[in-house]
Structure 1
Amino acid sequence: MALGADTIPDRQGSEDIGLRGSNQSGMRDHNERLVLSLVRQHGGLAKSDIARITGLSAQTVSVIMRGLEQDGLLLRGEPIRGRIGQPSVPMFLNPDGAFFVGIKIGRRSVDLTLVDFQGKVRASQRQTYRYPSPANVVGFTARALPLALAKLSAEERPRVSGIGIAMPFQLWSWVQFIGAPQAEMDAWRHSDIQAEIAQLTGLPTYVQNDATSACGAELVFGTGERPKDFLYFYFGTFIGGGLVLNGQLFLGRSGNAAGAGPLPVQGKNGQVERLIAAASMSKLADAMEAAGEASDYLWERPDHWTVSPQILSDWMDQAANGLAWAALTAATLLEIEAVMIDGWMPAEVRAEITRRTHLALHSLDLDGIDPPMIREGTIGPDARALGAAAIPLSQRYLIDQNAAGRGV
């Protein structure tokens, strides 16, 4: 399935902790990446605007943008008239300029998503299972990737720039929660899924924690005003988190920073428990099964849930209480501006959990603390898969947002 000899990944240096990637070649020049990052951030910019923001000379910016336009990465907009001097011509990202593949390995399903340069989904494939295994994931990729690439023209396929894999770390340690045989899950201890996918596809391949990737999707593809510092929660089978500091995704020493599941919180009964026990979808599924309600569709239908109102309300109360305590802890340590909540759930459920979390936070003792805003995420159920696709996009075409105002 390799897409060409010139894209076969170089495994050297692929064991970097946090974000593991094969093949760092083809990285854009610093100033090209700076321009692309600014255009993505603002939606469209003229050369004069970029020169003002970056401090680069007008001539330098003109050369860079002309080259990016020739490469097919930027598109010229309609001239804006009515100002003194020459009309201003905004430049926009060309959606067909590059494509990226995201693979989300979940505890109940695996998804493969093809996105364009603007983050629009062009194709997606999905498979559900009782539990994940390396062999299943590789086999699914071998079947799903050709189907996704078939959506592209022959001219577009060479523009597929890489694959990102979003997955929970240490899957073998969650056997008791997902009911999988220990022997089957132990296969993850010795599997290098990144190397197997890279060898299968011939594309640069990166691996990141799944909740961190969902947070990355909010950072790269999210809409509306994004705070510079925020804690992010994603509801899946288990609750997970990500952290953005000074506009940059913070991975931590092992790549598992803000992996919020083990965080101790005070439960509704006053006892200390882990956030994973208070705010995971698996707890909602357990409550449904105990009441005789089928829960399998929770993993298949994020747009609509059929669950007894009282069971859902009790779960949302428990989850909101846990998130409020987690937000309080984070605000105490980091002075974050916001907490953002998203997940594999209907939009109305996300909105209600956000509302209840705000109320729960403001019922706690906030003396000496500037409480963060509690906000909904903007991506939705596909945040992990889109975040996976955002990894190769960021690695090849974007720049540290903290450097967005500095040209060299």
Structure 2
Amino acid sequence: METGIARHGSPEALERRLHRGTNQSGMRDHNERLVLSLVRQHGSLAKSDIARMTGLSAQTVSVIMRELEEDKLLVRQAPLRGKIGQPSIPMALNPEGAFFIGLKIGRRSAELVLIDFLGNVRAMLQHSYRYPAPRETVEFVTAGIRTMRGELTPAQDKRIAGLGVAMPFELWNWADTAGAPRDVMEEWRHRDIRADIQAQCEFPVYLQNDATSACGAELVFGQAGAARDFVYFYIGAFAGGGIVLNGRLYSGPKGNAGALGSMPVPGPDGKPTQLIDVASIAMLEKALSAKGIDGSYLWTSPQEWGDIGAELDEWIASASRALAYAIVAASSVIDFEAAVIDGWMPLDVRRRLVEAIRQAISGIDAEGLKLPFVREGTVGIHARALGGASLPLSERFLVGRNTSGGA
């Protein structure tokens, strides 16, 4: 734990710590992050509850919670009076304790989101395009951050603790699939987008694969229940996913663990292909385009697609079969408790997709395997952007949420 004036000093000292880089001294002390993680998980907790859960002494917990309250990260709730003894005072997260920015760079759109310490969305901006271009993306981020910060009070602005970027790795390999000029996509190979954004921000900037980030959003903000091991699929323009093991987001040493879009599955003709070539929404757009239908609304109106008809039915049928095989294959490696399905789609389409996956799994020979329960995700269409915002939150204020590196 930090000591001296910087630890117990003025609000300005806290603000310096919030904006410090990702070296160990810039993070919260482990025990402080443990307390914040427990309070986030349970909503509110009294000191006695935390002492019992952590094994820390009552005196240590009292000191930690007092300091977190002084730092305006925790706030007191109404006292709870029991039959005997002094009333206990639950502590909850202060929404104004810290703010985080998340950026999603997708194949068809970019999103910028500002959340508070509870994960409530305070502002969101979206930019649609035919394909992502580095310069245009940086311009969108620069203008968006300026707009969002302009709507905060000076005190709130000083509590922005970081920005997380969620984007597909090796975007330059998707030129043909995304229908983008190869020279524009090739620019991504030579650009360090994290460094470009970091140069404009005084707070730390983090980077993670977009589908892995969406998985992180489900872990941090979603309703995962008691499941501590689950495989996660996010169906956007392209299909991808992530893995949670023992309550932690596992992204691997190179940040590409859970690259489920590349998983081999049977194609429509029975020959092996990748999940991304069957279950992606880009495949639905391609089918619509073949019928002379403009499918751009798939990206601009994810809450409501309207009555698409046979093309949607056929896509759900093929995507569900591919996802069913992917889930069974993943379960042969790790004994997952759940398989979570989310994506850039209306809720009724997600529900239909999950039901079709369950049906498809029942027809696969899974002898010797204990298959996970297939359920819908709980974060929704903005999971990737919220997952980006969760990167600085997890890295600096939580424990056991992410095994990947920081900035």
Which bracket does the TM-score occupy, shorter chain normalised?
Answer: over 0.9
Q: CA deviation at 1:84?
A: 2.9
Distance 1:217 1:28 in 2: 21
Structure 1 range deviating more: 252-261 or 53-62: 252-261
CA deviations on 1:314-361 (whole Å, 9 max, x unpaired) are 100111101100000011110111100000111111111111111111
Question: What is aligned with 2:183?
Answer: 183
Note the 1:82-121 alignment, pairs <5 A. Answer: 82-121=82-121
Question: What is aligned with 1:258?
Answer: 258
Question: What is aligned with 2:378?
Answer: 378
Distance 1:59 1:308 in 2: 62
Question: What is aligned with 1:17?
Answer: none
Note the 1:279-298 alignment, pairs <5 A. Answer: 279-298=279-298
Partner-residue secondary structure (3-state), 1:394: helix
Q: CA deviation at 1:267?
A: 2.9
Over 3 Å counting, the alpha-carbon distance change for 1:63 and 1:129 in structure 2 is same
Over 3 Å counting, the alpha-carbon distance change for 1:55 and 1:5 in structure 2 is closer
Over 3 Å counting, the alpha-carbon distance change for 1:401 and 1:261 in structure 2 is closer
Q: CA deviation at 1:26?
A: 2.0
Partner-residue secondary structure (3-state), 1:261: helix
Consecutive unaligned residues in structure 2, runs of 5 or more: 1-14
Over 3 Å counting, the alpha-carbon distance change for 1:385 and 1:401 in structure 2 is closer
Partner-residue secondary structure (3-state), 1:234: strand
Partner-residue secondary structure (3-state), 1:380: coil
1:40 aligns with 2:40: yes
Q: CA deviation at 1:218?
A: 0.4
Partner amino acid for 2:103? I
Q: CA deviation at 1:271?
A: 2.2
Question: What is aligned with 1:349?
Answer: 349
Q: CA deviation at 1:309?
A: 2.0
User: If the length of structure 2 is used for normalisation, what is the TM-score?
Assistant: 0.92
Distance 1:6 1:88 in 2: 30
Distance 2:174 2:402 in 1: 36
CA contact (8 A) 2:164 2:388 kept: yes
Question: What is aligned with 2:326?
Answer: 326
Question: What is aligned with 1:136?
Answer: 136
Distance 2:78 2:19 in 1: 39
Q: CA deviation at 1:400?
A: 1.5
Distance 1:160 1:209 in 2: 22
Over 3 Å counting, the alpha-carbon distance change for 1:36 and 1:366 in structure 2 is same
Distance 1:401 1:130 in 2: 34
User: If the length of structure 1 is used for normalisation, what is the TM-score?
Assistant: 0.92
CA contact (8 A) 1:114 1:121 kept: yes
Distance 1:82 1:294 in 2: 63
Question: What is aligned with 1:156?
Answer: 156
Question: What is aligned with 1:72?
Answer: 72
Partner-residue secondary structure (3-state), 1:138: helix
Q: CA deviation at 1:364?
A: 0.6
Partner-residue secondary structure (3-state), 1:231: strand
Partner amino acid for 1:164? G
Over 3 Å counting, the alpha-carbon distance change for 1:329 and 1:383 in structure 2 is same
Over 3 Å counting, the alpha-carbon distance change for 1:220 and 1:64 in structure 2 is same
Distance 2:195 2:59 in 1: 43
Question: What is aligned with 1:14?
Answer: none
Distance 1:23 1:148 in 2: 27
The number of residue pairs the alignment matches comes to 389
Q: CA deviation at 1:268?
A: 4.3
Q: Percent identity?
A: 52
Partner amino acid for 1:225? G
Question: What is aligned with 2:63?
Answer: 63
Q: CA deviation at 1:142?
A: 1.2
Over 3 Å counting, the alpha-carbon distance change for 1:402 and 1:202 in structure 2 is closer
Distance 1:322 1:202 in 2: 44
CA contact (8 A) 2:119 2:221 kept: yes
Structure 1 range deviating more: 337-346 or 195-204: 195-204
Q: CA deviation at 1:362?
A: 1.4
Distance 1:196 1:348 in 2: 39
Partner-residue secondary structure (3-state), 2:342: strand
Partner amino acid for 1:190? H
CA deviations on 1:208-255 (whole Å, 9 max, x unpaired) are 000000000000001251411100000110001000011100011210
Question: What is aligned with 2:49?
Answer: 49
Q: CA deviation at 1:385?
A: 0.3
Note the 1:148-297 alignment, pairs <5 A. Answer: 148-223=148-223, 225-297=225-297
Question: What is aligned with 2:31?
Answer: 31
Over 3 Å counting, the alpha-carbon distance change for 1:9 and 1:98 in structure 2 is closer
Q: CA RMSD, aligned part only?
A: 1.8
CA contact (8 A) 2:19 2:160 kept: no
Distance 1:351 1:80 in 2: 40
Consecutive unaligned residues in structure 1, runs of 5 or more: 11-21, 404-408
CA deviations on 1:11-68 (whole Å, 9 max, x unpaired) are xxxxxxxxxxx66652001110010011011111111110000000111101100110
Partner-residue secondary structure (3-state), 1:67: helix
Larger relative CO (CA 8 A, sep 6+): 1 or 2? 1
